[in-house]
Amino acid sequence: MELTAEYPGLTGFEPITEVDRKEFLSQGFLLLRNVLTEHHRQRLEAAVDRIHGEEIAAGRSAKDGTVHLLGFLDRDELFADLLVHPTTFPYVWGLLGWNIYTHHNHLDVTPPAREPERPYWGWHQDGYRQNSDPETLDGSPRPMFSVKIAYVLSDLSETGRGATKVIPGSHLRNTLDRPTALPHPDPPGTVEITANPGDAFVFDRRLWHSRSTNLSSISRKMLFIGYTYRWIRPLDEMSIDRAGPWWARRTPLQRQLLGDGTHTANHWGVGWDGYVDEEIPLRRELMQRGCLDRSVPWLR
């Protein structure tokens, strides 16, 4: 209910435009401005600061205070609400469809670098064996499989603050040449995603990307939520207590997005009879709102 007041008039089921869809399919990412109100961003940042302190106190951070926390969604009530955030969720179902859940999410705090980093090559595509097992012998692009929403909580409006670097359009290339010279120069076409606090970006897992060094005096703070198809296994270990109060407060849609299902075939989008299960929460919601579209394969 609090988010309804923060974002009046938005439901999270407003279809994305064809312009946005075409840009995403062409570039592999979209920068989304002002997806968080300032009040909401401040609350999220406070939660991140608390968890960052808890991880340091528990000895689960790097020596410089860097934290890369997987499966963070149950660490604060605010995080679960981001699963269906009204300003970003349309891009999730609009680009992936209705048979989805979150398989991978991480909370990142990157303090200013204390000393120059050793030369490294950080460019990669997400997905691990998804970049090998479905490889095409003719070099055709691999399947997308998943997208991530990246929420920017700190000021990344200038380069040199540890922002994500990407190569627009590189999601359609299965390989990336690695230079032999040290330090490795960034590949041609590299863009550092500069963004304001409260912005977000959505990107195709195949987009070649890399972290950058935080050369500023402020800590980089971000939240990443990845979504994929329910027939793909989870990447993160999430020790959710399904008998506890946090799970009891989750809506049926949130539970689907956290991996819930009625049986194994349900994760493939069907009942045991082989027909589409019309009661899958996101499909039911999209159907009731008239958002299914047979001209878009993943929205049939």
pLDDT for res 4: 75
Question: Measuring CA to CA, how many Å separate 250 from each of 80, 83, 112?
Answer: 8, 11, 36
Query: CB-based contacts of 105: which residues, under 8 Å, 6+ apart?
Result: 70, 71, 72, 73, 223, 224, 225, 226, 236
With a pLDDT cut of 70, the percent of the chain lying above it is 99
Task: Supply 21's token pair.
Answer: 């869809």
Please state the rounded mean pLDDT for residues 49-57: 97
Mean pLDDT taken over the chain: 95
Return the closest-CA partner of residue 201 out of 95, 75, 46, 78: 95
Task: Say whether pLDDT at 95 is over 60.
Answer: yes
Please state the rounded mean pLDDT for residues 62-70: 95
Query: CB-based contacts of 267: which residues, under 8 Å, 6+ apart?
Result: 99, 230, 231, 261
- d(CA 40, CA 15) in angstroms, rounded, equals 23
Return the closest-CA partner of residue 195 out of 218, 213, 217, 222: 222
- d(CA 133, CA 124) in angstroms, rounded, equals 16
pLDDT for res 257: 98
Looking at residue 156, the DSSP 8-state letter turns out to be B
230: left (phi over 0), alpha (psi -120 to 50) or beta: alpha
pLDDT for res 1: 45
| 137: confidence class by pLDDT, cuts 50, 70, 90 | confident
Query: CB-based contacts of 188: which residues, under 8 Å, 6+ apart?
Result: 167
Task: Say whether pLDDT at 119 is over 80.
Answer: no
Which of the two residues, 251 and 180, has the higher pLDDT score?
251
- d(CA 226, CA 235) in angstroms, rounded, equals 10
Beta strands in the chain (DSSP E): 29-32, 67-70, 100-110, 146-152, 165-166, 191-192, 200-204, 209-210, 220-229
- pLDDT tens digits along 6-48: 999 999 999 999 999 999 999 999 999 999 999 999 999 999 9
Which value, in Å, is the radius of gyration of the alpha carbons in the chain? 19
pLDDT for res 2: 65
The C-alpha angle with vertex 118 and arms to 219 and 163, in degrees rounded to 5, equals: 30
86: left (phi over 0), alpha (psi -120 to 50) or beta: alpha
The answer to whether residues 194 and 157 touch, using CB atoms and an 8 Å cutoff, is: yes
User: Phi and psi for 151 in degrees, rounded to 5?
Assistant: -95, 130
Looking at residue 257, the DSSP 8-state letter turns out to be H
- d(CA 184, CA 175) in angstroms, rounded, equals 16
Residues in the chain: 300
Please state the rounded mean pLDDT for residues 64-75: 95
Task: Give the range among 129-138, 188-197, 229-238 with minimum mean pLDDT.
Answer: 129-138
pLDDT for res 156: 98
Task: Supply 17's token pair.
Answer: 């435009």
Query: CB-based contacts of 281: which residues, under 8 Å, 6+ apart?
Result: 251, 252, 253, 255, 256
Return the closest-CA partner of residue 196 out of 166, 154, 163: 154
- pLDDT tens digits along 211-270: 999 999 999 999 999 999 999 999 998 888 999 999 999 999 999 999 999 999 999 999
Looking at residue 284, the DSSP 8-state letter turns out to be H
